[in-house]
Structure 1
Amino acid sequence: MNNTISDIDIDLTAVCEAEDDAAQAEAQPAQNESDDTYAQKMQEQLALARSSANCRYIGIDLHSNNIWLSVIVNEQRPSGSVGKVIFSRSIGTQRVDGTLPEDLIKPVIERFCKDQPHIACVEATYNWYWLADLFERNGWNLVLADPSTVSEAKTKAADDRKDAEYLADRLRYNALRYAVIMPKQLREIRDLVRTRGTAVKQRAREKIIVINKLTNLIGRKITGKELRKLIKEHAEFGTEAPMLLNWGLTEEVRTILDYHLTMATNIDQGIQKLEEHINAVGRNLRYTRELQKMPGCGPVITSILASEIGSIRRFATAANFVSYCRLASTSKLSNGKSKGLGNAKNGNAYLSWAFTELATLMVRYSEAAKRHFEKLMRKYGQLRVKAIRVLAAKLARSVYQCLSKNEPFDVLRCF
C-alpha cells in the first residue's frame, strides 16, 4: 500500500516516545489478575468434568437459523468404554415473533449442563458470541473447536448430525483441538481494538483514493503534508478549498473529492472516540505494562497484543502460541522434497500483523535486533519478508516466555 499514508495503525510518534510510555505504564493501576487466571480455572473445570464417569460430551453444529445438538456419554462394555449418543436433534433459533435464540435452546441444553459434569464445544464460526454468553452466564463449560477439525474427519457421508456427533466424540477421546474462550468483557475490549484497526484502514483507503484521483488529474503525487493541508482546508471551505481551485479542478471532480475527504474526516472523528475508550479500558488489560516496555512497542501495538492474547495460559507451549500467531512454518517435506504447504492462515491475523510490525520497529530501535535481522537477511538471500517473519516468530516465543514466567523482556536474551 502507498507508503505516503503512514497512519495505517502505527503511531510512530508514540513509538519514538517508548521511554515515556514505559514511565506511564509504571503509574498505571494494578492489573486485573483475573484476566490471567480465567483460562487456568476453565482448564481445571474441564479436567474435573472429564474425570467423572458420567460426563456429558456435547457437540454443537451452529448455523445462522438452527443448531444441531449431539450429546455422547461413556458406556462401559466388556470390550471397554464406548461412546453412546443419548441425544441428537436440530433446534431452530429463529422465529418470526422475535424470540431470542438463547431462549429457544436454553431449556434443551440445561438438561445436560445444569448441575452435571459436561464439556460442550462449538466450531469457531462468525456467530458464536451469543452462545458463549449463554454458557458464561450459567457457569457452563464451552470450548471453541478449530474449524479444520471437522474437515479432517473424512467421513464417507457428512451432515449436521454427523458433524455434531464427531465433535462430541472427539471431546470424549480428548483428541479435539480447541481453545479456551475469553470472557465476555475481554471479548468486547478485543472487538473494540479490532474496530479501531478496521476504521484506520478505511480512513487510509479514503485518503489513498484522493491521492490517486489527484495524481491522475494533476500529473504528480501529492505529499503527505499537502494532503493534511487539503483536509484542513476542506473542513473550512468544502468544495471551494483553495488548493482544489488552484489545481483547476471542475465542480464534478471537486464533488467527488468532497465525498472522500468528508468520509476520511468523519472516520477520523470516530477513531478518536474509539481511542479514548480504548485508552480508558486498555490500561487495565493484563500484560499492558510488560508489553509497553519492549523497544518499539507503542500504545497501538500494545493494545492489539494485550487484547488478542487475553491470557497467556490459554496456550500450553510457546509452539502453540507461535502457531496461533500464524508465525509457524507450514512447509511439508518428505525425503527433503517439498510436498506443499499447510494452512498458513490458520491462526490469529491480528497477532500476525502486530508481531510483524513490532519486529520491523524493533529492528529500527534496537541494535541487537538490527544485528540479528541482518544475519537473517544474509541467511535468506536478502529476502526481507522471510527475514522479518522469522524475527517476528522469535519475538512471539520470547513474549510467551516472558508473560508465562512473569519476567521482563530482555532484548539481549531474545537475540
Structure 2
Amino acid sequence: MWHVGIDLHHQTLVVAAVHDSGEVRPAVHLQTSETQAIRDLFVDLRPFQAVIEATGTYRWLHDLLAPMGTVLLAHPLRLRAMIVRRAKSDRLDAQLLANLLRLDRIPLAYVPPAHYQMLRDLVRYRAHLSRQIAHAKTQLRQLLARQNIQPPYRSPFGPRGLYWFSRQDLGCVGNSMRDHLIERIELVQRQLAAVDGQMTAVSEQFPQIEALTDLRGIGLFTALLVVAEFGEVERFRTARQAAAYTGLTTRVYQSGDTRRTGHISKQGSPWLRWALVEAAMKLVTKDAKLASFYHRIRKRSSSKIARVAAARKLAEICWKRLRRWHRLHDRPVIAAA
C-alpha cells in the first residue's frame, strides 16, 4: 500500500508517497485547479491511504479522494508539537506526512460527515451575520457618544429607533457613516431572516436538537450550533472529553509535588465556546442548579471565571443530553469509560 502525504495550499498542493516496501516516489507539484490530474495521480497509487493537514480548504480534496482510498486529517497543532526541523519546504512537509503515516504516527483530527459539515457551514455563517450586526450597532452608539446624544429608547435598533437615528444631525461625515451603518443593519437583518428560514428547514434532519431546546435559554440556533460542532457524540467517551473538546477546560502543569492550573486551553471551536458562554449566562437566571454552581464559583474567584465554569458545565450537560437522546432512539453510542 502507498502512504501519501499531501501539503495543501489555496492554489497548489504537493504530493509525496512512500510504499510499504520502502519505495519512494518523488514529490509532485500540482495546481488545485487540475482536479483531473489529481484524480489520475491517485488512481495510479491505489490502494493508498493519504493524509492532509487540517486547513480551512481541505474538504474539497477529502471528498475528491475519499471514494478511491482512505483519507485522514492531521491535527496541525499536535503535529507541530511532535516535530523539530531545521528546514521547511512544501516538498519536505509532504514527505514528512507520508513517512509519519507509514509509521502510524499521525495525530488525527476529526472529519465530520457531510451532513454535519453542511450544518456547520450554515450555523457559522449565521453567527458571522450576527456579529456583523453587533459591530454595526456598536459603531452607531459610538457616533452618538461623540456628539453626547442619548437615544430615547432602551434598545434603539428597532424600526422606530433606526428612524430616530436617521433624523439625527451628526455632521457631514457622521451622517454618511450613520446612513451606511443603518443600510448594513437592514441588509444583514434580511439575510438573517433568510438564513433562519433555512435553519428551520434543515432542523428537521437533526431531531436530536429536541434534547437541547428543552433547556431554558437554548433556542433553535444555539441547539443546531452545538449539534454541528460536537458532530457525532459517539466519539466522546466521557463528559470530560466533550468539555475538553470545547476548549473550556484549564491547562494543567504537574511535575513531582508541583501542580498548577492555568487559563482555559481554547483548543476547540471558537463558535462553540461563544455559544455555550452566551447560553450559560441566560441559563443561570432560569436554572436553579446551574445558578447555584455559578454563584458558588463567583464567590471564591470572579464573575469571568464563574461564567467560563458555567459554560463548561453546560457543555457537559449538552453532551449527556445528546447521548441520552441517541440511546433512547436506538442510535449507537460508545459506552462511557
Normalised TM-score (structure 2):
0.85
Aligned partner (choices 8, 13, 38) of residue 105 of structure 1 = 38
CA, structure 1 residues 355+157, in 2 after alignment: closer, same or farther (shift >3 Å)? same
Note the residue ranges of structure 1 that are not aligned, 5 or more in a row: 1-54, 76-83, 95-99, 234-241, 409-415
C-alpha displacement at 1:325, in angstroms?
0.8
> How much has 1:129 moved relative to structure 2?
2.0
**Equivalent residue, structure 1, for 2:319:** 400
2:208 is equivalent to residue 275 of structure 1: no
Q: Contact conserved, 1:214 with 1:222, CA < 8 A, in 2? A: no
Alignment-derived partner of residue 8 in structure 2: 62
Conserved 8 A contact 2:162-2:182: no
Query: Is the CA contact (8 Å cut-off) linking 2:245 and 2:267 kept in structure 1?
Result: yes
Indicate conservation of the 8 Å contact 1:102/1:130, yes or no: no
Partner of 1:89: 27
Pair 151,396 (structure 1): closer, same or farther in 2 beyond 3 Å: same
Could you say which residue in structure 2 is the equivalent of 1:166?
96
- Structure 2 unpaired stretches of 5+: 329-337
In the TM superposition, what whole-angstrom CA distance separates every residue of 1:78-118 from its partner, at most 9, and x where no partner exists? xxxxxx25324132215xxxxx33222111122224xx2x4
Are the aligned partners of 1:332 and 1:342 in contact in 2 as well (CA < 8 Å)?
Answer: no
Find the counterpart in structure 2 of residue 143 from structure 1: 72
Structure 2 distance, partners of 1:59, 1:107, is: 16
Aligned-residue CA RMSD (Å): 2.8
Asked if 1:175 corresponds to 2:108, the answer is no
User: Does the residue aligned with 2:4 lie in a helix, a strand or coil?
Assistant: strand
* Distance in 1, Cα, partners of 2:199 & 2:130: 14
Aligned partners of 1:316, 1:154: CA distance in 2, in Å?
A: 32
- The amino acid across from 2:40 in the alignment is P
Percent identity, please. Answer: 21
- What is the distance in 1 between the residues matched to 2:161 and 2:25? 62
CA distance in 1, matches of 2:44, 2:220: 46
CA distance in 2, matches of 1:260, 1:330: 41
Say which of 210, 213, 226 aligns to 2:143. Answer: 213
Q: What is the rounded CA distance, in whole Å, between the counterparts of 1:327 and 1:85 in structure 2?
A: 45
Which residue is 2:18 aligned to? 72
Query: In structure 2, which of residues 283, 293, 312 is the aligned counterpart of residue 372 of structure 1?
Result: 293
Say whether the 8 Å CA contact 1:179–1:314 is kept in structure 2. no
Whole-angstrom CA distance in 2 between matches of 1:341 and 1:102: 46
Q: TM-score, normalized by length of structure 1?
A: 0.70
2:177 corresponds to which of 251, 256, 259 = 256
Corresponding residue SS for 1:296: coil
